[in-house]
């Protein structure tokens, strides 16, 4: 039963996590799409790639920076920025919750599996195409490979069914080209340099990571659309690396652009695609006009700075804390119609006669235990009422006080009696639960932290009469 509950809780965490990440990533994606062309022309070579990598680090990393502020000072620019971030963060969280009600988890999983199946199909289909490739041992190709001093073994194949040269394989990379390229020494040089740069920079591994993230965050349409621009920026970066390796002169750029145009021409003849739709056209224009400038570096730094808020969550700590007693949040999936488990007020709690629960074979639960629950982690308490000594007790109390961060907490309480789940509920504030226990029964209490930051508080579990 617990395993099912744990899976359910983790699934709920993933749902909100994925949606919130998707919404917060929109800011970073929009920033990248706005500045990418300018950065490709005026910034250092890897400027756009760093921003794309930052996006995927954010989407993959489960952690974020938690900034706690007691009061926003309107006279401070920094505090004003934090106030804006807090406001945006609150809106995005609310939006993620609303959308989660529409995009049912089951539907999202079905679509995610469909997307993953499609990606796997593309890989399998591509692998079948590669079977028609013929391995070659060309001295000129081998010389280019040696010049890169790679630790991995690179193989060269010929396949005239493909339109343009491609590289695939992570541990044993393969370069597949067309026979006409081997007949042109100048074209062969640029093709080999370009594909070997992909291998040296581990672009294939990055491509696999991108595909995986796209499957997980398929519900972010802007992310899916932006992938073609990411692919283009990787190619542009590789072009710049090749030119830099060969010597960045006007003559080298002209020769390289000629080779690219030749590849475009062959691709058009084979696929009957309009030249203006070919992404290589943008690459040729950038190679012609690329020049690193101070302004380009400044724009990159500014974009990098403005992208940092997606990694942070700002929490406002209220001075005068108001506790909400008796308010349950979201749902309670286990029937509690017999009223064995109640949420009580502080006044009711003070009227009870409390005792410590001492469990020799398991653990001792202190009267006031300050505990920290890590992100998406849980605490477990267990005891046997059959081992309680002294006069008979009616049940036990679970009291959670001074939970922090105050303004943004979510936790889940699950109670099991003799391995059967009798209670589960989600809360967003301090709570006191009163449980009427059965004599001789064994109990387990699980407290799940549903936040992507640590949850700290005073946890009390006592028997009562």
β pairing state of 65-69 and 312-316: parallel
Rounded to a whole number of angstroms, the distance between the first and last alpha carbons of the chain is 30
Report residue 324's pLDDT band, with 50, 70 and 90 as the boundaries: very low
Residue 119 has pLDDT above 90, yes or no: no
pLDDT in tens, 209-226: 998 888 888 778 899 899
Please give the Cα distance from 213 to 227 (Å, whole number): 11
Residue 157: pLDDT band by 50, 70, 90 thresholds?
very high
Q: Is the pTM of this model over 0.85?
A: no
State how far the alpha carbon of 398 is from the alpha carbons of 158, 351, 368, 444, 458, in Å: 70, 15, 11, 12, 11
pLDDT the model gives residue 107:
64
Q: Which long-range contacts (CB under 8 A, 24 or more apart) does 174-183 make?
A: 174/130, 174/133, 175/141, 175/199, 176/130, 176/133, 178/266, 180/266, 182/136, 182/138, 182/158
Tokens standing for 54? 């930052």
pLDDT at residue 341 is higher than 70: yes
Reading the block at residue 33, the tokens are 């799409």
Whole-number pLDDT of residue 315: 60
Strands 155-158 and 174-177: parallel
Which pLDDT belongs to residue 108?
Answer: 64
Q: Could you tell me if 33 and 229 are in contact, meaning their C-beta atoms sit under 8 angstroms apart?
A: yes
Best CA proximity match to 450, nearest among 399, 378, 370, 372: 378
Q: Are 455 and 403 in contact (CB under 8 A)?
A: yes
Q: What is the mean pLDDT of the chain?
A: 78
Reduce the secondary structure of 298-344 to three states and give it as a string. Answer: HHHHHHHHHHHHHHEEEEECCCCCCCCCCCCECCCCCCCCCCCEEEC
Question: Which of 260-274, 285-299, 375-389 has the largest mean confidence?
Answer: 285-299
Q: How far is CA 41 from CA 295, 302, 415, 449, in A?
A: 11, 16, 60, 46
Share of the chain above pLDDT 90, in %: 25
Has residue 327 got a pLDDT over 60?
no
Instruction: Convert the pLDDT of each residue in 224-257 to its tens digit.
Output: 899 999 999 999 999 999 999 999 888 999 898 8
Domains and CATH numbers, the chain: 2-103+219-314 (no CATH), 134-193 (no CATH), 341-464 (2.60.120.380)
Residue (of 373, 362, 354) closest to 444 by Cα position:
362
Top-confidence residue, 81 or 447? 447
The confidence band for 173, taking pLDDT boundaries of 50, 70 and 90, is very high
Mean pLDDT of the region 120-137: 82
CA separation (Å) from 109 to 3, 128, 139, 217?
19, 28, 50, 11
Which is more confidently placed, 46 or 215?
46
So what's the pLDDT on residue 41? 93
**pLDDT computed for residue 331 by the predictor:** 43
């Amino acid at each position: 039963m617990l395993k099912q509950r744990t899976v359910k809780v983790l699934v709920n965490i993933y749902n909100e996590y994925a949606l919130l990440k998707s919404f917060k990533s929109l800011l970073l994606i929009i920033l990248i799409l706005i500045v990418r062309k300018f950065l490709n022309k005026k910034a250092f070579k890897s400027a756009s790639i760093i921003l794309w990598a930052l996006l995927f680090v954010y989407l993959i990393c489960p952690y974020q920076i938690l900034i706690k502020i007691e009061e926003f000072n309107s006279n401070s620019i920094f505090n004003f920025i934090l106030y804006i971030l807090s406001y945006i963060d609150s809106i995005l969280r609310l939006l993620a919750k609303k959308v989660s009600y529409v995009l049912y988890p089951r539907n999202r999983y079905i679509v995610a599996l469909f997307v993953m199946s499609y990606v796997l199909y593309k890989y399998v289909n591509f692998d079948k195409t590669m079977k028609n490739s013929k391995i070659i041992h060309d001295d000129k190709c081998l010389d280019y490979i040696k010049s890169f001093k790679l630790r991995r073994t690179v193989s060269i194949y010929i396949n005239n069914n493909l339109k343009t040269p491609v590289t695939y394989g992570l541990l044993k990379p393969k370069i597949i080209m067309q026979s006409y390229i081997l007949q042109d020494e100048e074209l062969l040089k640029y093709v080999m340099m370009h594909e070997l740069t992909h291998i040296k920079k581990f672009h294939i591994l990055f491509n696999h990571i991108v595909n995986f993230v796209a499957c997980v965050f398929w519900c972010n349409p802007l992310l899916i659309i932006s992938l073609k621009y990411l692919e283009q920026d990787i190619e542009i970066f590789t072009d710049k690396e090749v030119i830099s390796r060969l010597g960045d002169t006007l003559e080298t750029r002209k020769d390289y652009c000629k080779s690219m145009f030749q590849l475009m021409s062959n691709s058009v003849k084979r696929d009957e695609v309009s030249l203006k739709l070919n992404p290589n056209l943008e690459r040729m224009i950038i190679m012609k006009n690329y020049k690193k400038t101070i302004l380009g570096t400044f724009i990159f730094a500014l974009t990098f700075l403005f992208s940092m808020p997606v990694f942070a969550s700002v929490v406002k700590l209220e001075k005068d804390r108001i506790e909400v007693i008796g308010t349950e949040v979201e749902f309670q999936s286990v029937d509690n119609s017999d009223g064995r488990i109640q949420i009580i007020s502080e006044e009711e709690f003070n009227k009870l006669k409390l005792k410590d629960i001492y469990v020799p074979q398991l653990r001792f639960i202190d009267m006031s235990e300050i505990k920290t629950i890590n992100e998406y982690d849980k605490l477990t308490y267990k005891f046997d009422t059959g081992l309680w000594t002294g006069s008979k007790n009616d049940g036990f109390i679970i009291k959670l006080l001074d939970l922090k961060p105050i303004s943004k907490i979510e936790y889940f309480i699950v109670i099991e009696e003799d391995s059967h789940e009798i209670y589960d509920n989600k809360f967003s504030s301090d709570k006191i639960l009163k449980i009427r226990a059965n004599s001789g029964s064994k109990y387990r209490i699980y407290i799940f932290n549903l936040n992507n930051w640590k949850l700290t508080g005073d946890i009390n579990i006592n028997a009562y009469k």
